[in-house]
Structure 1
Amino acid sequence: MKRVSFAEFGGPDVLQLLDAEEPHAGPGRIRIAVRAAGVNPVDWRVREGQVLGAHPIELPAGVGLDAAGVVDEVGEGVEGVEIGDAVFGEGSCTYAEFAVLSAWAAMPEGLTFEEAAGYPSVVETALRIIREVGVEPGQTLLVSGASGGVGSAVVQIARDRGITVIGTGGAANQDYLRGLGALATTYGEGWAERVRRLGPVHAALDVAGSGVIRELVELTGDPHKVVSIADLAAPELGVRFSGVAGSVPDALAEAAGLIARGRLHIPVEKAYPLADAAAAHVDSRAGHTRGRRVLVV
């Protein structure tokens, strides 16, 4: 099969589309013929060699956590899924023609493979950090960098739970954020004061890593009410860095339910051929995304 991998840490040019041995589904796993793979910031952070609290990376390494496709192998002990089913989920080395998934759910009706591939780890991350930051219905949550994949999911899930959301984003994404149900304001000079004018902030999430941790602590009044998934220096200010996925086992089922109820929609901003993974990483790292980027197999 074809797989995107890298033999050394570095820039996007280290990514190569190469022939590789097909993986197989072990106990408790399934294998899919990948139709689309989600592109996440963690993908290029790992490729650059950043330390994210995950397991050590052995080179050469594959890339990718999220995928949607058709089941073609079912491992021992797996029930409730059959060969030929369309699923979306999380696994490893998903920038490939075949990938093994460790968590999955039936693909919600009405979604394309490209759309479905954009949800898995994004929704898991959103559910995890909403829980970790301890925000309650009736309170106000500030999301710094709210227009990307995780931010889009956080806004919609929080609103569905009765939480008011203030979201910061670029000028071009203000209407998009309002459409998700957020009180929107721009980042840049004076952003913290603009947030204050929108009301008190009970908790805050940094999903963009744009150097705003100090201001988020000031706005909430408590470093324990701030969580970052993007700023590795956050712990220096007493703020939790939440970089390890997989701690919300029912995330995909909850995502499917929200999608079915029309309470969660994350658009695909751009789809790339598998051979253009490097270009997808360049664009993802540049930020300013509205929704998700995916690779099409």
Structure 2
Amino acid sequence: MRRRLAGAFRLHKPVLLDDVLSQLKLRPGHVVVDATVGSGGHAQAILERIQPGGYLVAIDQDQEALTRAQERLKSVGGPYILKHSNFTRLDEILTSLNLSQVNAVFLDIGFSSDQLEDSNRGFSFLRDGPLDMRMDQTAAIKTAADIVNKARERELATIFSEFGEERHAKRMAHRIAQDREKKPIHTTGELKELIEEVAAPSRRFGRIHPATRIFQALRIAVNRELEALEQVLPQAFERLLSGGKLAVISFHSLEDRLVKHFFLKQKYNGRGKILTRKPIRPSAMEVEENPRARSAKLRVIERVL
């Protein structure tokens, strides 16, 4: 559920904002792409840094997020454009704008607190709602409910194991396959309850809820997140000017591994200089103020050729 303050959406707090700005070294006149603009927290700060004369391309597949971002960006006053699209179409978008190269591309790979708190989106097991999990609710793709109720048991186990790194993937998948024969699983609450019944008692009351990995796996499967990340990284890097920077914030090991390996590939072929020897992590103070930042990792690479 969204809470409104003075008639506006409660604004999501951007993760690792100071570190992102420090690493990108933005200047007036720069052209920057925020390919995951979300509610516009990073984008607003970026747009402020590149004025006067700068230009921001802000992309997101969530139309509601773009509406929130619009509220933030219009207060800055600098030129920008909002694009409702998946970032896998980055090349197409920049070509349509006659932008051959840019100074920086920023990616924040994850979902926002606004999405998490909206029970109608189905991202959180803490709020009962439909099992949707589509980042773009206008997209004609399978929802989490479609996967849970229609995927073969073996396919479910693979999704839970590969995308959620869930140790008991087969057991979870088997129980889901059994239960859905009696009654389809339509809500986050129903799935959470089922997972809690399967999980060992020690996991039910542990630091990480047993549904966490299952929900992560389903979200990744629904939105094909890893495939999308693999597609956008080379597009983003190729669009950088020499000296341009690509910054990526990831939130789990699967994403971070893809980013790390892509950056290393560019380093070894002599086209990129990795600016973060180790990923930048949030400070204890930031995690205390913004728990969502806990698992965030920032990696940055500079194009040299």
TM bucket normalised to smaller: 0.3 to 0.5
- Higher fraction of strand: 1
Q: Relative contact order (alpha carbons < 8 A, sep ≥ 6): 1 or 2 greater?
A: 1
Give the structure-1-normalised TM-score: 0.37
Structure having the larger proportion of residues in helix: 2
TM-score, scaled relative to structure 2? 0.37
The structure having more radius of gyration, on CA atoms, is 2
